[in-house]
Structure 1
Amino acid sequence: MTHTKDTAYLNKPLLDIKQLSLTLQRRQLLTDIDLQLHAGQVTVLIGPNGAGKSTLFKCIAGEHSPRGHMLLFGRERALWSRQALARQLAVLPQQSGLQFPFLAQEVVSLGRIPHNSSERENLPIIEQAMQRAQVWHLREAPYPQLSGGEKQRVHFARILAQLTGSEKQRILLLDEPTSALDLGQQHLLLSEAHRLAADGCAVLVIVHDLNLAARYGNQLVLLHNGRIASVGCPEQVLTPANVEQYFGYKAQLLQSPDGHQVLV
């Protein structure tokens, strides 16, 4: 009986979107979006510029109020208090408007606010998060003086700290998290996202690099003109025909030595 219950729990989506549509300033930006995020999966949103990726991301993050249904952890989004939801859902936007002269470690500590935990509890969590994001050596550095990539990694450490707690069900939303990072740091961040998924988190990430999408995505969602054009594993979505039709590029599909799909 216990095994059946556990299986049912794993199969239940942490995010369940049905018939989501959004109109802003008389423009239809999203139409009839159905999407599920499951624990243990990295879902990658891809699509040409203007396809609706960031708009859908902002709907899930709570910045827009679309029509349709959105269940988070089995409950309508509107029924969640901000603090309770922040213990289970963390968002890394493309850019942060943070201008205060905090130290990097103080920025990461902001991720612990929803937990109401003590400084003694927080310190090892903050250190571990900064170690994982490879920014522990920057802990005493003033945040405004950091490079764009360093700031991005500090904020990634902040959401790692935010998602550390007793809650088993968690969602991580990453909007173009690799945009300011060099090649090695891109793979570090996405590997950490995969590690979180392996620990039971549902991860949604927007990337423009289709090879990164193929390498790290369990589920790819291809958007075009505010609709889902294709959804499935990388082999199903990143076909040469889809790449040519939706990105305007004649791609060749190759296999890397470690078995990953590569577009050239």
Structure 2
Amino acid sequence: MIDAHTHLDACGATKSEGAHGARAIVDRGAAVGVTAVVTVADDMDSARWVTAAAEWDPRVYAAVALHPTRAGALTDAARVEIERLVNHPRVVAVGETGMDMYWPGRLDGCAQPLTQQEAFAWHIDLAKRTGKPLMIHNRQADREVLDVLRAEGAPDTVIFHCFSSDSAMARVCVAAGWLLSLSGTVSFRNARDLRDAVPLIPMEQLLVETDAPFLTPHPYRGAANEPYCLPYTVRALAELVNRPPEELAHITTNNARRAYRLGPG
């Protein structure tokens, strides 16, 4: 399996631990069949860290962008540095970027919608210029995300990280040829809209992720998440689409290798 979206730094692989801390987390994943991870930035410090982490271990790849809630930090200097980092050969995506309508008004310092929209548009352009996949964060912002994508024109490869929307949004994404990455939320019995949408996703447009340390799958919901928990999400997904979990693991691994251009395992 490949964990298509995780946050190794937030999982406890701190700066002081460096390569040792990152390697320990990846080793725990490898023990249960997680052969590679994409560790994702959400601010500038994280962008530098994930790029370095991708150099420490051949099983680690990186994605770089400013999280939409932090879009206010997208200064001219930040744009220059993000673009430099995205061009690193082990940075395989521009992300996570997008729109978040949940946190404005709830989180002090959260970027407002217009600021998020402008940053999202810039990241879309960056993905097009670098030829790397666009990794989208979408929280309660289906319409807003689609409006920006339509206005700017989507890159060749678009990944909706931690897809949590309903069947209507799934149909739009599937029709556009975008990839939907599913996290531990597919194992939550109360996530009815998402669980109803899952069977609509063609196998070739499906990825799996942990979004660790968040969204730990059942039966460990509420505990800290790590890449080694990915098999629980794969099993929950397999039940929803009536396929063997081993088949889902194989399919999603191949999809991740193709999307991120990782080459054969």
TM over 0.5: no
TM-score (norm 2): 0.35
More helix by share: 2
More strand by share: 1
Greater RCO, CA 8 A, separation 6+: 1
Asked which structure has the greater CA Rg, the reply is 1
TM-score (norm 1): 0.35
